[in-house]
Structure 1
Amino acid sequence: MKTILLSAMAILLCLPVFSQNPGVEKEAFAHTYSIVARDTATGEMAVGVQSHWFSVGPLVAWGKSGVGVVATQSFVNPEYGPRGLKLMEEGKTAVEALEEIANSDSGREYRQVAFLDSHGNTAAFTGQNCVEAASHITDENFSVQANMMLNEETVPAMAESFSRNSHLPLAERVLEALKAAQETGGDIRGKQSAALIVVGANRVEESWKDKKIDLRVDDHAEPIKELGRLLRTARAYEYMNRGDLAMEDGDVDKALEEYGAAEKMFPDNLEMQFWKAVALANAGEIKEAKPVFDKIFKKDKNWREMLKRLPKAGLLDVSDEELKQLTD
């Protein structure tokens, strides 16, 4: 009952805003801190965001490979995302694209938005009616912005962190900036959701290749910590994917290398152990593969049945006798 009353009060408090400005929708809250950034070495671009609001990612973070990225927050106008990307794809700079959309937005003073294009140009806007503490810092190849923060330290801390961690891959660098924001106090309301997307330097035809990283934590007591766990898991599975590709190409040594790297990151993950053992078996190392399979089967017998199915699928090249030896 208390939660219902608080939600009702929040809506009532915002009614004057909605009645005075029809451009502001009551559904589109995303008071938050975020970063848009580009890696000068790879050309990859990213958006990282955290908010005390459910599922902040789909509303705030937008990106397209070879084009740019957008973070749109505060009282969100989602149009800034797809329209901003379209304008940048057509050749407008981040500054030109943001100005064109903001100038036609009757609710612009309630918005906070950041654009970054594929050349590293950045543009940001913090409306006068964004809830304090609200500000942004733009620089070449990154912009950090926040509203409804506990204090004024959040945005400078993000900028300092991003600049200081230039040795890290872009996704990890963005994550460190989010951590820095939270360490200053972050969102005055607390924590709930976070998201991280990374797009490539070059345009792609296939939409499923557009986002290199697309991670969301929709509802969690420690969203940034959970986002970090997911990013580490994603990195491990990048090794797994490369191992799979090596297996398809018949490069068992490469597959062993990739699967082994993944297993080092998550030594208790049965699937990672399994595919490394499969690579060993395909390399003719039956004696080495056998104890690994036995350990896996002891923990979950379904993997034994899985192994029996692989020869037919062309993923395990062993004799019937060797397969029996591995599964007994």
Structure 2
Amino acid sequence: MTFSILTFDQKTGVYAGAAATGSLCVGGWVLRGDIESGLCASQGTAPSTFWRDDAMRQLYAGKRAADVVSALTRPDNGRAHRQLAVLDMLGGTAGYTGAASVPYADHIATPNLIVAGNMIKSRNVLEALIAGYETSAASPPARLVSALQAAQAAGSDVRGLQSAALLVLSPDAPPIDLRIDDSATPLKDLAALARKVGEPPYANWLHETPVQTDRERAP
């Protein structure tokens, strides 16, 4: 039903994640993040918003990704129908794919990056997500769009795509939280929106707002 990617850039301190699905409102359901904590993606046949929100609370408290995944998935009797991907404040990653997830379903976790997907054509979709991100030298939003586009070209959600979202958290820039909730061409629309965010006049205004490195910044 959904494929997602979570990343951390050790050099810049930027956390960046994206997701796409063949249903509505993937950003609202799946992605969460905090500049001081990390990122998570909760998805699946019956995705748990409690996993998503509890993961962020635990990350904020300083827990590592593997401990968060274990703590949330083990006691949940419905875990077979869910997926969880977590990236912690140090770039540690961990994931869970329930046994009843609609195939193809799996996740790939490496330092600073984790991808997950269910109801996708094959593992190639996950590998394309990684390659699409790692081979791009563009801005974080554009790299995420490239990753989603590569995954779509590799087989995508088997139903096609209806919504897409991205989240970029930077120490020295305001959050970029973009969502296409219902579209026949969500990746095209997401790419267009990401370009607009990086252009004047909107981009100029972003330089006046508080950021982690300057919480009192103003015009």
Q: TM-score, normalised by structure 2?
A: 0.89
Equivalent-residue separation in structure 2 for 1:233 and 1:59 (angstroms): 24
Q: Deviations over 1:91-136 (max 9, x none)?
A: 1101111110111111111111100011100011111110011111
* Aligned CA distance change for structure 1 residues 240 and 154 (closer, same or farther; 3 Å): same
Residue 38, structure 1, aligned to residue 38, structure 2: no
Quick one: distance in 1 between partners of 2:67 and 2:121? 32
- Judging by fraction of residues, say which structure has more strand: 2
**Structure with greater helix percent:** 1
Aligned to 1:54: 24
Instruction: Report Cα offsets for 1:205-259 as digits up to 9, x if no partner.
Output: xxxx9x61010101111101110000000011453316878xx96xxxxxxxxxx
State the 1:164 CA deviation. Answer: 2.0
- Out of 203, 223, 234, the residue aligned to residue 197 of structure 2 is 234
Q: 2:148 aligns with which of 178, 181, 190?
A: 178
Deviations 1:167-207 (A, max 9, x none): 333222221111110001201111100111112349xxxxx
Match for residue 71 of structure 1 among 10, 30, 41: 41
Secondary structure at the residue paired with 2:72? helix
Letter matched to residue 205 of structure 2: N
Q: Identify the residue that residue 99 of structure 2 maps to in structure 1.
A: 128
For 1:80 and 1:244, the matched residues in 2 are separated by: 34
Distance (whole Å) between structure 1 residues aligned to residue 37 and residue 108 of structure 2: 21
Question: 1:131-174 deviations in whole A, cap 9, x for unaligned?
Answer: 01111111111101111012331011112222222x33322222
TM-fit CA distance, 1:70: 0.6
- Relative to structure 1, is the Cα distance of residues 41 and 106 closer, same or farther in structure 2, using a 3 angstrom cutoff? same
Unaligned runs of 5+ in 1: 1-30, 203-208, 250-328
**Using the alignment, how far apart are the partners of 1:157 and 1:214 within structure 2?**
23
- Give the residue type in structure 1 aligned to 2:30: V
Aligned counterpart, 1:149: 120
What secondary structure, in the 3-state scheme, does the structure 1 residue paired with 2:16 have? strand
| One-letter amino acid of the counterpart of residue 93, structure 2 | T
Q: Which has the higher contact order (CA 8 A, sep 6+)?
A: 2
CA spacing shift, 1:242–1:95, aligned 2, 3 Å: closer
The CA distance in 2 between the partners of 1:81 and 1:151, in whole Å, is 25
Identity %: 32
Q: 5 Å matches for 1:77-156?
A: 77-156=48-127
1:197 — aligned with what? 167
Whole-Å separation in 1 of the counterparts to 2:159 and 2:66: 31
Correspondences of 1:262-273 after superposition (within 5 Å):
none
Say what the alpha-carbon RMSD is for the aligned residues.
Answer: 2.0
Residues 196-275 of structure 1: matches in 2 within 5 Å?
196-201=166-171, 212-237=175-200, 238-241=202-205
Count of residues paired in the alignment = 209
For residues 199 and 53 of structure 1, what CA distance do their matches in structure 2 show? Answer: 25
Which residue identity lines up with residue 145 of structure 2 in the other structure? L
1:52–1:96 distance in 2 versus 1, CA, 3 Å? same
Could you say which structure has the larger radius of gyration? 1
Alpha-carbon displacement from aligned partner over 1:25-61 (angstroms, at most 9, x marks no partner)? xxxxxx2011011122211112201111111111101
Q: Return the letter of the residue paired with 2:29.
A: L
